[in-house]
Chain A
Amino acid sequence: MLKVNDLSVSFRTEQGIVRAVEGVSFEVAEGELLGVVGESGSGKTVSLLAVMGLIVDPNATVTGSITYRGRELVGLPAKEMRKLRGREIAMIFQDPMTALTPVYAIGWQIAEQILAHERVSKAAAWQRAVDLLAEVNIPNPAEAVHRYPHQLSGGMRQRVVIAMALSCNPALLVADEPTTALDVTVQAQILDLVAKLRRNHGSAIVFITHDMGVMAEIADRMMVMYAGREVERGTKQELFLSPRHPYTQALLDSIPPLKGPRPRRLRTIPGAPPNLLNRPPGCAFAPRCPHRFEKCSAVPELTGGARAAACFRTVPA
């Protein structure tokens, strides 16, 4: 349904060119949940912003191909992109406290989206807003519709954001770290909600996070990004049980366990992610990789089809 091929996004800054995303390719099938994992600077957010056409920086260059249901999105005129955005592809972001416009009621904001994309009456749009709020478990939806964002807690606001994103029944929902800013019990509620909505609406979801635990719970397939490149992909089970890239393995190792014996010291990845202005040649992870050898001075290709890893050490399956 969504095919991204060789996507690159770079920004021209005063200090030079920042290659935030380099040659990333991935696919999302109808109804599936793709998890995108990476730390800061991995390019996970920028890639998906590019898919949405939300990169507004005039110093940005987006190359490559993004096809949605056969339609090429790169280079699509803004007007056409706007018709897709919010209607067929929707996106929600990390911080619910600042995601909604403070001066309008939440019902108004949901209705605004509906009215922008569908020919329905105002009354019908507001009624849909009430129904959507009920679907995301907001108590007293008929009354809540008139509330302002500042009157709701973070968890509630995130639900409103989700309701708004799903208001036009998009085929694809992109969620950029939607639970990172929430308490863990609220996160559990939201993840439950996302699972339920997935069942009811059948949308495909791209879920960006840095939290491997969340990935394990909800993802079907996963993609790991590092320093703007994709380093591994596969099904959730494959990645957790037999990761093929040293970074994936290292990420899993550095998480303190919640059960079982406590290690005396955690396994860490020495150093820090590279500066994207000055990416070292060859494999971006090599300087921190325990398995590096001479071949790593070249950029490894992502080999292996659906179960791919970008590493010279791993033998393609």
Chain B
Amino acid sequence: MIFALLRRFGQMIFVMFGISVLVFLIFFATPGADPAARIAGRNASPEILEAVRKSFGFDQPIYVQYLTMMKKIFITGDLTSFVNRGWKVVPAVLDTVPVTLSLVIGAAVLWVVFGLLIGVAAAAARGTWLDKLLMVLGLIGISMPVYWLGEVMNLVSQSRYHDTWMFSWVPPLGYKTFSTDPKGWFLTLVIPWITLSILYIGLYGRVLRAAIIESLQEDYIRTARAKGLSETRILLRHALRTSLISFATLFGLDFGALVGGSALLTEVVFGLQGVGKLTYDALLNLDLPIIMATVMYASFFVVMANALVDIVYILLDPRVRTG
């Protein structure tokens, strides 16, 4: 098993290297535009353009450019944004990570717990009104765009009903760091957590229900019944346990993508300065260094999440372990 894990880790490093090359080439080797102009931003003066060219080595062969860029990002960390004069990119990105992590982890806890509850309940009550109700609710959850839902939540909790007892505790939009103000941190995140998780609860509830029902048709369930086990035990210990494998892999991929920046819409709507919001702003301003950094970061995170998912798979499914 250790060998399988090490092998997976090795693959991950290899893929990350490939991504860094690909991202670099996309940004700096696409024919037509001058990369220096793109980095310097709009309305850059010729002197700045020249400085950029020197700094990034655009007169050098391409692999030197690649190495220079990688050095700026990873080793010296002094890649700077030209749009927001001199703002160091790498620390900027790293500062936003805790925000995104807080948002996504909280939402993840919510959606895993409720997704499991809904999936298992619907599968246990399959065919009955409860099952249908839960599936409809799930479908509604999936169908509501997160930015719309977020704005509605804001409308309700920040302005319309802000003074009622139900929402008076809701602080203004924005993020409070955990270390300075734990209570504030929690309160600012409650509504974003709920908003972000609703989509996934619906999705995971439905997926899990389908996976459990499919498991229940398998031969080993028939054996379990023949053993005289209770339906509850069969549902939880045999059907659910086997369905968890696909549930976990799906979760890993979604989680990875979200931490990588897919929670962008939620962050924008709730004014949270996370990685997604940073990317969004950078896109609006065409701030290339930041965009590059966030793209790399996002890709890396997805690759890492993929690798973690595979590792969890190895732990959950004994069939994958032996060779």
- Which residues of A does B touch, CB under 8 Å? 52, 54, 56, 58, 82-87, 90-93, 95, 98-104, 112-113, 116-117, 148, 150-151, 161, 164-165
CB atoms of B223 and A100 under 8 A apart: yes
CB-CB under 8 A from B316, the residues of chain A are 103
CB atoms of B228 and A101 under 8 A apart: no
CB-CB under 8 A from B222, the residues of chain A are 54, 93, 99
Closest chain-A Cβ to B236's Cβ sits at a distance in Å of: 12
CB-CB under 8 A from B229, the residues of chain A are 82, 86, 112-113, 116
Of chain A, the residue at the smallest CB distance from B238 is A101
Q: Does B317 contact A (CB under 8 A)?
A: yes
CA distance A150 to B223 in the complex (A): 16
CB-CB under 8 A from A86, the residues of chain B are 226-229
Closest chain-B Cβ to A169's Cβ sits at a distance in Å of: 13
CB atoms of B228 and A85 under 8 A apart: yes
CB-CB under 8 A from B242, the residues of chain A are 101-103
Closest chain-B Cβ to A111's Cβ sits at a distance in Å of: 11
CB atoms of A98 and B218 under 8 A apart: yes
CB-CB under 8 A from A161, the residues of chain B are 223
Would A54 and B226 be within 8 Å (CB), given that A98-B218, A102-B317, A103-B317 are in contact?
Answer: yes
CB-CB under 8 A from B220, the residues of chain A are 98-102
CB-CB under 8 A from A87, the residues of chain B are 228
Contact with A along B184-227 (1 / 0, CB 8 A): 00000000000000000000000000000000001110111111
Q: Does B7 contact A (CB under 8 A)?
A: no
CA distance A104 to B319 in the complex (A): 10
CA distance A90 to B127 in the complex (A): 29
Size range of the chain B interface in the assembly: 20 to 34
CA distance A82 to B226 in the complex (A): 8
Name the contact of A85 in the complex, choosing from B219, B227, B318 (C-beta under 8 A).
Answer: B227
CA distance A101 to B216 in the complex (A): 11
Closest chain-A Cβ to B288's Cβ sits at a distance in Å of: 48
Name the contact of A102 in the complex, choosing from B224, B228, B318 (C-beta under 8 A).
Answer: B318
- Which residues of B does A touch, CB under 8 Å? 127, 218-220, 222-230, 233, 237-238, 241-242, 245, 316-319, 322
CB atoms of B225 and A85 under 8 A apart: yes
CB-CB under 8 A from B228, the residues of chain A are 82-87, 113, 116-117
CA distance A100 to B227 in the complex (A): 11
CA distance A25 to B225 in the complex (A): 25
CA distance A100 to B127 in the complex (A): 27
CA distance A104 to B229 in the complex (A): 15
CB-CB under 8 A from A91, the residues of chain B are 226
CB atoms of B319 and A148 under 8 A apart: yes
Of chain A, the residue at the smallest CB distance from B224 is A101
Given contacts A92-B226, A101-B220, A103-B242, 16 further A-B contacts (CB under 8 A): A52-B226, A54-B226, A90-B226, A93-B219, A99-B223, A101-B242, A102-B220, A102-B242, A103-B316, A103-B317, A113-B228, A116-B230, A117-B228, A150-B322, A151-B322, A164-B223
CA distance A95 to B225 in the complex (A): 16
CB atoms of A113 and B219 under 8 A apart: no
CB-CB under 8 A from B230, the residues of chain A are 82, 116
CA distance A212 to B247 in the complex (A): 46
Would A150 and B219 be within 8 Å (CB), given that A86-B228, A101-B224 are in contact?
Answer: no
CB atoms of A99 and B319 under 8 A apart: no
